[in-house]
Amino acid sequence: MVEVYIHDNDNSVDFREPHNSGKKVDLAALDKIGVIYKHITKQEDVDALAKERDYKNHDIVNINIDTFKGDSDAMLNQLKIFYQEHLHEDEEIRYCMDGEGYFDVRLDDDWVRCKVAPGDLLILPAGIYHRFTLTNTNHIKALRLFKDEPKWQAYNRPNADDLPIRKEYLSSI
Ligand code: KMT
Ligand code: NI
């Protein structure tokens, strides 16, 4: 089951550590910023949700040291990219199948950290600033659902502040 809390913003510690400030965040607060959480155990229920929301594509990613052929520098470099604060122009769904990970979503000056485990599913609205990292177990297998073709284009903060999708998001919450 997902654990949600405010990140402690202590950047002297590896970003894969919990960074739990001790301030809990409830699912209603996530909902307020447009993030929907569900716990789903059956793949067919994930498929049904994807269909209902008109998703057309998906992929499965395995992120662990083997993905990078044992090259921990290469893994760290990729993790640093995932960890840059950014947004996308499409809503996206992430479903944890195995392992665990942290999805951080922006709430004003704070990061809300969502620790996902198998069965946890997050719907991130278009235009929300977010970032991702593995936990210190260094392994996740996740299903990524895309509305259309995967739009990997990531717009980093603060450059993305002026995008129409950012303004739409802000006026939606
Ligand atoms: C994202 O949107 O940041 C990602 O797809 C990261 C990997 S999903 C576990
Ligand atoms: Ni992203």
**Residues flagged as binding site for Fe(2+):** 86, 88, 92, 130
Would you say the CB of residue 101 lies under 6 angstroms from ligand 1?
Answer: yes
Please tell me the distance from the alpha carbon of residue 99 to that of residue 135, in angstroms, as a whole number: 9
In angstroms, the CA 154 to CA 132 distance is 13
pLDDT score for 151: 67
pLDDT digits (tens, 9 = 90+) for 130-162: 999 999 999 999 999 998 876 678 899 999 999
Question: Using a 6 Å cutoff on CB, does residue 19 contact ligand 1?
Answer: no
Pocket test for ligand 1, best of 63, 86, 94, 97 (most atoms within 8 A of CB): 94
- Cis bond upstream, residue 158 (ω within 30): yes
Distance of CA 32 to the CA centre of its chain: 16
Quote the CA–CA distance of 152 and 80 in Å, as a whole number: 15
Give the distance (Å) from ligand 2 centre to CA of residue 82.
Answer: 7
pLDDT in tens, 19-30: 999 999 999 999
Task: Please give the residue that has the higher pLDDT: either 36 or 148.
Answer: 36
143 lines ligand 1 (CB under 6 A): no
- Answer yes or no: is the C-beta of 13 below 6 A from any ligand 1 atom: no
Distance 120 CA to ligand 2 centre (A): 17
Does ligand 1 have an atom closer than 6 angstroms to the CB of 122? no
**pLDDT grade for 18, boundaries at 50, 70 and 90:** very high
Q: How far is the CA of 173 from the centre of ligand 1 (A)?
A: 23
Q: Is 102 in the pocket of ligand 1 (CB under 6 A)?
A: no
Confidence of residue 15 (pLDDT cuts 50, 70, 90): very high
Q: For 52-106, what is each residue's pLDDT tens digit?
A: 999 999 999 999 999 999 999 999 999 999 999 999 999 999 999 999 999 999 9
- Cα(101)–Cα(24) distance, rounded to whole angstroms? 17
124 touches 81 (CB < 8 A): no
What are the tens digits of pLDDT across the range 3-13?
999 999 999 99
Conformational region of residue 91, where left means phi above 0, alpha means psi within -120 to 50, and beta covers everything else:
beta
